[in-house]
């Protein structure tokens, strides 16, 4: 039940990401797909059957790749968020902590290979 609730939450964030340019859709859908794979085969299959997002999720599950557009949006969002946070916060130690906390996910995304298929976000 927990995974199903978390999956639905992340689908909601992904839907917001479709209309809000600052939220990346792809990572939220990948988390939702992972949660549904563990909790609800029916909801997992619904995501995979989606004509827009299904191919991207399958690419991730089968090849661990993401589309170029998704990668660019995710990396840009991270950079802009960290820049804004560092601008707003005056404490160098908190700024350094923020940078260190996002460094791992940033490098992970940066190193991900690109999908061979031309799927849109």
pLDDT tens digits, residue range 38-70?
999 999 999 999 888 888 888 888 898 988 888
Could you tell me how far CA 65 lies from the centroid of its own chain?
12
Which pLDDT score is estimated for 116?
77
User: Quick one: which of 84, 108, 98 has its CA closest to 30?
Assistant: 108
Q: What is the DSSP letter of 117?
A: S
pTM: 0.67
Share of the chain above pLDDT 90, in %: 44
pLDDT at 118 over 60: no
The alpha-helical segments, DSSP class H, found in the chain are: 2-19, 25-39, 41-49, 54-63, 68-88, 92-111
57 and 46 in contact (C-beta within 8 Å)?
no
Return the domain boundaries, the chain: 2-63, 68-111
Give the pLDDT band of residue 121 (cuts 50, 70, 90): very low
């Amino acid at each position: 039940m927990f995974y199903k609730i978390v999956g639905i939450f992340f689908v909601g964030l992904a839907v917001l990401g479709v209309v809000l340019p600052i939220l990346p859709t792809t990572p939220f859908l990948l988390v939702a797909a992972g949660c549904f794979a563990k909790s609800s085969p029916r909801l997992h299959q619904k995501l995979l059957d989606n004509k827009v997002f299904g191919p991207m999720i399958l690419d991730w599950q089968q090849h661990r790749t993401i589309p170029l557009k998704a990668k660019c949006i995710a990396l840009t969002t991270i950079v802009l968020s960290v820049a804004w946070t560092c601008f707003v916060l005056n404490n160098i130690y908190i700024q350094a902590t923020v940078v260190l906390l996002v460094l791992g996910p940033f490098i992970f995304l940066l190193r991900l290979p690109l999908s061979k298929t031309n799927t849109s976000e």
